[in-house]
Chains A and B, each alone.
Chain A
């Protein structure tokens, strides 16, 4: 079961990285080079508040998930890892 979860999380992380690069027009960023625990905003990948809004749209379009509470979003959007865990937990419900 745990193995299965890790495989699914790995697939979500891979898809997320590809979506972030294409959807946010991240020039010179290769999806595979984004670390799972890399901070997305500010230092790290350098995303900004406009990107946060785009990630909300990205989650809705590709995973059917809505993030309405932005204080919750702060934790969810911390890294690819936290985003993937949020998607895994909420898609299961």
Chain B
């Protein structure tokens, strides 16, 4: 399937211009967490029917809206559109607020609106409402595999001709509770810097939030960025000319990345730009797709290289056509999203 449009909102702003700027500038210390700036969530025109929505939903709605707008798919084609939202944790900030209210006010004193927004599928429903689509809408949750599973489902929907287009993306939010949990359960980088090439058994992370969406289709004429080739199943290996590692410290032991990069393939990793979050692969996919479209490769934002690997150290003109985004999940299973310039 082909990527026809991309929408992204992350700690450095909203849109592809912000993504390109962030990839060019490289790492900036996020302090304790990579948070989406509040001003990036204030688009009244897009969010006019999302007054009650939380930031989790707003991020998803904005990214999905932008992906569709970027694609240039004709308005009448929207009725052939499916939506798949993937998330590691869902709208946990709202869920915890709801639980706090039960403790404070009792079960009769909690907000019904808060409850209705605490369910995982609320954001996907808002996207459908916002875009006025009537196709299949689904939320996928499988922690660090969520985006890969969503990609597999999008491919299935397109092959079954259940839809002609799918908006597939990832969203996760970083609230105070999540930041606390990360500080207790993960090794948080005290200098705010994720070191993706250390391949440590106990890696460092910095919690993050954001959303990245893609308009995908099997219609080659809408291919604006690149193709996503094959399924991201574990063990399905295909050589790439550039490897983006999603080693962000979120899934624990990162030693398997070391054995995956033995053949001197050029490497990069953008976790230091996006932060540590279950759907990091969606953001890496956006970076990879942008690179294939623009013909530029962005230097790895953090270049600490204890294993002497072939890491991209400067912005270069693109000579590669095959980029793989590699993620190891918490079970150390390998997941690969293969981006290919041109045909599938």
Residues of A within 8 A of B (CB): 23, 25-27, 50, 53-54, 57, 60-61
Chain A hits for B51, CB < 8 A: 25-27
Cβ-defined partner of A53 (8 Å) among B105, B109, B112: B112
- Among residues of A, the one whose C-beta sits closest to the C-beta of B44 is A27
Is B105 touching A61 in the complex (CB atoms < 8 A)?
A: yes
| Total A-B pairs, Cβ < 8 A | 23
B residues within 8 Å of A by Cβ?
A: 44, 51-52, 105, 108-113
Minimum CB–CB distance for B116 against chain A, Å = 9
Residues of B close to A53: CB separation below 8 A: 112-113
Q: Which of B108, B109, B113 has the most CB of A within 10 A?
A: B113
**Whole-angstrom CA separation of A61 from B113 in the bound complex:** 15
Chain A minimum-CB-distance residue to B116: A50
B52 and A25 form a contact (CB under 8 A): yes
Which 4 pairs show the lowest CB-CB distances between chains A and B? A53-B112, A25-B51, A61-B109, A60-B109
Is the beta-carbon distance between B108 and A60 smaller than 8 angstroms? yes
Residues of A within 8 Å of B52, CB to CB, are 25, 50
Establish whether residues B44 and A57, one from each chain, have CB atoms under 8 Å apart when the complex forms: no
CA distance A54 to B116 in the complex (A): 12
For B44, list chain A residues within 8 Å (CB). Answer: 27
Chain A residues with CB under 8 A of B108: 60
The interface residues of chain A lying within 8 Å CB-to-CB of B113 are 50, 53-54
Nearest-neighbor residue (CB-CB) of A28 within chain B: B44
B109 A54 Cβ-Cβ under 8 A: no
Give B42 Cβ to nearest chain A Cβ, in Å: 9
23 A-B contact pairs sorted by A residue (CB < 8 Å): A23-B111, A25-B51, A25-B52, A26-B51, A27-B44, A27-B51, A50-B52, A50-B112, A50-B113, A53-B112, A53-B113, A54-B111, A54-B112, A54-B113, A57-B109, A57-B110, A57-B111, A57-B112, A60-B105, A60-B108, A60-B109, A61-B105, A61-B109
Measured CA separation A27–B58 after assembly (Å): 14
Given contacts A50-B52, A57-B109, A61-B105, 5 further A-B contacts (CB under 8 A): A25-B51, A25-B52, A50-B113, A57-B110, A61-B109
Q: Give the distance to chain B from A26, nearest Cβ to Cβ, in Å.
A: 8
Residues of B within 8 A of A26 (CB): 51
- Distance in angstroms between the alpha carbons of A53 and B113 in the assembled complex: 9
Contacts of A23 in B (CB 8 A): 111
Which residues in A have their C-beta under 8 angstroms from that of B109? 57, 60-61
Q: How far is the CB of B319 from chain A (nearest CB, A)?
A: 49
Closest to B112 in A: A53
User: Smallest CB–CB gap between B41 and chain A, Å?
Assistant: 11
Instruction: For B105, list chain A residues within 8 Å (CB).
Output: 60-61
